[in-house]
A = this chain, B = another copy of it.
Amino acid sequence: MANINRQITLAARPVSYPKLSDFKLVSAPIPTPDAGQVLVRTIYLSVDPYMRGRMNARASYAAYVEIGEVMIGSIVGEVNSSNHSDFQEGDIVEGSLGWQEYALSDGDNLRKVDPTLAPISTAIGVLGMPGMTAYFGLLEITQPQPGETVVVSGAAGAVGSLVGQIAKIKGCRVVGIAGSDRKIDYVTNELGFDAAFNYKTTEDYGEKLQELCPDGLDVYFDNVGGAITDAVFPLMNVKARVSICGQISQYNLENPELGPRFLWHLITKRAKIEGFLVFEFADKHDEGRRQMAEWIKAGKLKYREDIVEGFENAPAAFIGMLKGDNIGKRLIKVSDQ
């Protein structure tokens, strides 16, 4: 290896959607692990919607990225050299090591990945954060019951595509909302959703939802927010549960959007809306991962990876994902396994 570690740093705070110039590709020497440290070589880098929030200088549940800092993000990689008793050269690991080709870790933020179980890329996908988000955000927050109608927005994305399938496994009727005909085709014909619609070619979301959910809806899993979510609330059944996973329609707005007030629906429907973060369920992630892996093996759960080649393409791939270019989990292939 040439002794160069390419990194992508935050160059400027984005206004609305990030631009390529908000990122900077820089080079640094590959670091050397001290005692207790591990050097990891990145194989796959994950790009996820939550990263947009960390680019703003606004306090949230986690620290934001400073200008000039390496962008935060999870990777799957190989241990290149180790001075840590728990890790050996060649181990495949997953962790939040940032947008860079090599990273040091003290091991605390690393999880060993079993490469015989599934392709290692799944450690940042269906068997990683997005998978656990779908699994616990649906099952723990909304407790879907057989025969219930579940609506999921962002239906073809890394999380939504899994949510709909898990709901199907649980015996629910599933209706998806996504932003292209290809996505609608994917979720209905490949993933087995009962119905779906393309919000970009639908004029009246409420009318369309009513058509696709003749018995109303019992569960709504929201990745998107905005006008799509506005259309869902009036159709909630009594005791409906809404899981707020993401609000991607709002992340790139400079001025907060106004929307119709809807809290009175919660009274008449005795309904519940709850937000969550996947790390809340950290002590159950292993259990979730086992179940998801089992469903994959049994052919009940499908996943698609949208792999962009080349570390330098991460910013464009990330921006495209925020705009909905991807079907399934978007990730960056940084180096060979």
Taking Cβ atoms with an 8 Å cutoff, the residues of A that contact B are 60-61, 222, 225-226, 229, 238, 244-247, 250, 256-261, 263-277, 280
Contact = CB atoms under 8 A, between A and B. Distances in A.
Contacts of A225: 261, 263-264
A275 B269 contact: yes
19 contacts: A222-B263, A244-B263, A244-B266, A244-B267, A247-B261, A247-B264, A247-B267, A257-B260, A258-B258, A258-B261, A259-B261, A265-B275, A266-B273, A267-B276, A267-B277, A268-B275, A270-B274, A270-B276, A272-B273
A144 B168 CA distance: 36
A271 B270 contact: no
Given A258-B259, A259-B259, A272-B272, A264 B250 contact: yes
Nearest to A60: B268
A225 B267 CA distance: 12
Tell me the number of copies of this protein: 2
Which residue of A246, A247, A263, A277 has the most chain B CB atoms within 10 A of its CB atom? A263
Contacts of A280: 270
A257 B259 CA distance: 8
Closest 4 CB pairs of A and B: A266-B275, A267-B275, A258-B258, A272-B274
Given A266-B275, A270-B274, A270-B277, 8 more contacts: A225-B263, A229-B263, A247-B261, A259-B259, A263-B273, A265-B275, A266-B273, A270-B276
A178 to B, nearest CB: 19
Contacts of A271: 274-275
A61 B250 CA distance: 32
A267 B250 contact: no
Contacts of A274: 266, 270-273
A268 B260 CA distance: 22
Contacts of A244: 263-264, 266-267
A170 to B, nearest CB: 22
A156 B276 CA distance: 33
Nearest to A246: B267
A261 B256 contact: yes
Which residue of A225, A256, A259, A275 has the most chain B CB atoms within 10 A of its CB atom? A275
A267 B275 CA distance: 4
A256 B259 CA distance: 10
A275 B263 contact: yes
A269 to B, nearest CB: 7
Nearest to A259: B261
A80 B222 CA distance: 56
A153 B246 CA distance: 28
A61 to B, nearest CB: 5
Contact of A261 (B250, B264, B273): B250
Which residue of A261, A265, A266 has the most chain B CB atoms within 10 A of its CB atom? A261
